[in-house]
Amino acid sequence: MAVAIPTRIRVDIQPFHPYLLRLYGVSEAEFEALADEDLKAEYLDGVMIVHSPASVRHEERQLFLATLLKLHADAHRMGRVLGGNAVFRWRERRLAPDVMVVRDEQRIGPKEVEGPPDLVVEVLSESTRDYDLGEKRRLYREAGVGELWLVDVEGQVVVVERRGRGYESEEIHEGWVISEAVPGFRIRAEWLWQEPLPSVLECWALMRGSGDAGPAFA
C-alpha cells in the first residue's frame, strides 16, 4: 500500500525549548521530501534528525565565523563557505555543519556537497552539545573531514582536531586558533567569548596583519 509522504515538518512547542528530534524509519526519498532550506535536518542510516532554531548567541557566532572564513576564502580563491542548513553527503548519510569550507567547488551540487568538507565548524548549543561532542564528532572523523573546530562558548574553549594528526584534540582557550585545512586563516579564541562580538571588519584587518587592533584586541 502506498504511503503518503508529508511535504513539511511543523514543530510547535510553547513555550519554546531547544530540541533535537529523531524520526526513525525514514527513507532517503522521505528525507528529501521533508527537508527544505528553512529546516536544519540531517539523515543518519534511516534516522532523520531535526534541529530547533538556533539561539541568537549561537547564530551570531556562526555568522561571525562564516563571514571571516568567506572573506579569507574569497581573497585567496580557496573555495566556498557554506553554513546554516547546507549538508554534505557521505555514504547514505547527510550531515549539516554550522559552517563548512569546501575547497574543491566541483563537489558542490545544487542540493548538497559530495564528500567531506576540508573544514567543519560546530558552535555548541544547549540542544546539540552531547550530539556534537559525541555521535556527530565520531561521524565527522569516520567521514574523513579534514579539520574540525568545536566552539564551546560556555567553556570558553575551541577544540581543534585534524585528520592529518589522527584527530588528536587540541584545546585553545586564548590566542590564535590557526587552520591548516584553510591555509592562512586564523582567529583569536577570545573574540568568540566577547559580548557583543567584536567588529568583523576590525578582526579581518588584524587577521591580515594590518589596521588598528583597538582595545578589543589587546
- Name the burial class of residue 98, with classes exposed (0-12), middle (13-18) and buried (19+) by CB atoms within 10 angstroms of its CB: buried
pLDDT beyond 50 at 213? no
My answer on whether omega of the bond before 116 falls inside 30° of 0, hence cis, is no
* 168 grid coordinates: 588528536
What's the pLDDT score for residue 212? 41
> What pTM did the predictor assign?
0.88
Within 10 angstroms of residue 112's Cβ, the number of other Cβ atoms is 17
Judge whether residue 16 has pLDDT over 70: no
- In the chain, the percentage of residues whose pLDDT exceeds 70 is 89
Residue 197 CA to residue 204 CA, distance in Å, equals 13
- Could you tell me if 98 and 46 are in contact, meaning their C-beta atoms sit under 8 angstroms apart? no
Q: Is 211 exposed, middle or buried (0-12, 13-18, 19+ CB in 10 A)?
A: middle
pLDDT at 13 > cutoff 70: no
Question: 54-217: which CATH architecture?
Answer: Alpha-Beta Complex (3.90)
Q: Where are the beta strands (DSSP E) in the chain?
A: 20-24, 41-44, 47-51, 80-83, 88-90, 93-95, 99-102, 113-114, 119-123, 147-152, 157-162, 170-172, 176-178, 186-188
Domain boundaries, the chain: 54-217
Alpha-carbon gap, residue 107 to 88, rounded angstroms: 10
For 58-81, write each residue's pLDDT tens digit.
Answer: 999 999 999 999 999 999 999 999
Tally Cβ neighbours within 10 Å of residue 88.
23
State the Cα–Cα distance between residues 81 and 103, nearest whole angstrom.
9
Amino acid 18: pLDDT: 85
The answer to whether the beta carbons of residues 8 and 34 sit under 8 Å apart is yes
pLDDT at residue 215, rounded to an integer: 38
pLDDT beyond 80 at 142: yes
